[in-house]
Structure 1
Amino acid sequence: MTDLPVEQLTRALAAVDPLVAGVEDGQWSAPTPCAEWTVRDLVAHLVVTNRMMTAFLTGQAPPDRSADPLGGDPLGAYRESGTALRAAFALPGVLERTHEGALGAATGAVRLRWRLADLLTHAWDLSRATGRPAEMPQDLVEQALAFVGDALSDEARPGRFAPAQPVADDAPALDRLAAFAGRSVRP
């Protein structure tokens, strides 16, 4: 597929949407494969990361991290943050410009690749925590897996990445991405 990068983000956000929409009332406090995170914490992470990246790309002040990012409408917060993020990445020159941040310097295109990998990996987490299938665009998952495989090694894994876990070579791409990100993937 030859989508433009912002179209890839649109597809990924749309693919995660049914997972967020499908969270049942009793599942918000359920544990996830992300240590110490509930389903609500994980969805809040998606929203906060979208909002932080939007602020970063547009030169705005970051959102207040002490406020509840989901409020009474987690799905609405997810959708709003995704819409704002797509708009930020679509701004002229954002993908080509190098952005200096706490994690170093990178182009908007590289930051978008990281966002896609994070979003897709957490879709796997959300799927596992809620028992709902994660039907992610395979081409995007394969691209994310290739990207993180090139960007990270067993020796160079920042604190938020656990060591890669074993997974069958013929496992679905999303399982391989999750395992590479440190998740224990069991059939």
Structure 2
Amino acid sequence: MADATDGQWPIMVHMTQSPLAQFDRAAAVAEGVIASTKPDQFDEPSPCTLWSVRQVINHVVVGNLRTLGTVTGQARPDPGEDRLGDDPLGAFRASVRELRAALSVEGALDRTVPTPVGERPGTFLVLMRVAEMTLHAWDVAKATGQSTDLDPGLSGQILAVFHGVLPADREGSPFGAEQPAPPDATAADRLAAYAGRTVS
């Protein structure tokens, strides 16, 4: 992602609610999609190359727990560690609950913390989770035949952020090259296409 510009972190520019309110919205989107995923769909392939639906959900849960470790100084799970057990939805809810509580501690959002792109305020970590939970909720919804019309306002704001921070050349990044989106695409579809997913 880009560096700070004029003292403001670019990922915050288009976010119109408080970071924790955005976090709650993204968590609700992801929880709804995971709750609607049938047990026999967890092994289905997902739009994330080489990842099943279960692996996408686990990636989100581990991401939440790794962020929790960064915020609290606790141990962080390995990226590939399975944290879902036999209750993916329960594991997701627990990770959100624990991370939300840690982020709500006074000063947590203002403290400078390490991130994948260098030291940033805690707010940056929150908004990274907002983008991750929303985009991967689309992955799971797409893979399991659910509606991809996921919180248009939130999806549109994240897309605006991505337009400002994702380079055209994304080699070596977690995002693929921008893909086309059909004229009737939802805001979440357009977000997914911009992040490199095939949406049509």
TM-score over 0.5 for the pair: yes
Match among 89, 112, 129 for residue 126 of structure 2 = 112
Match of 1:36 in 2: 50
Q: TM-score, normalised by structure 1?
A: 0.90
Match of 2:113 in 1: 99
Instruction: Describe the shift of the 1:158–1:173 C-alpha distance in structure 2 as closer, same or farther (beyond 3 A).
Output: farther
Match of 1:26 in 2: 40
Instruction: Tell whether the 8 Å contact from 2:149 to 2:187 is kept in structure 1 after alignment.
Output: no
Match among 139, 152, 156 for residue 142 of structure 1 = 156
| TM-aligned CA deviation for residue 138 of structure 1 | 1.9
Aligned partners of 1:169 and 1:89: how far apart in 2? Answer: 38
| TM-aligned CA deviation for residue 101 of structure 1 | 3.5
Instruction: Describe the shift of the 1:86–1:105 C-alpha distance in structure 2 as closer, same or farther (beyond 3 A).
Output: same
Aligned partners of 1:156 and 1:104: how far apart in 2? Answer: 18
Deviates more, 1:14-23 or 1:150-159: 150-159
Q: Which amino acid aligns with 1:150?
A: G
Higher relative contact order (CA 8 A, sep 6+): 2
Q: TM-score, normalised by structure 2?
A: 0.85
| TM-aligned CA deviation for residue 135 of structure 1 | 4.6
Match among 63, 67, 74 for residue 77 of structure 2 = 63
1:64-90 deviation per Cα after TM superposition (whole angstroms, max 9, x unaligned): 556520011111000000111111221
Match of 1:47 in 2: 61
Uncovered stretches (5+) of structure 2, i.e. residues with no partner: 1-14
| TM-aligned CA deviation for residue 160 of structure 1 | 1.0
Between the two proteins, the alignment pairs up a number of residues equal to 186
State percent identity of aligned pairs.
40
Uncovered stretches (5+) of structure 1, i.e. residues with no partner: none
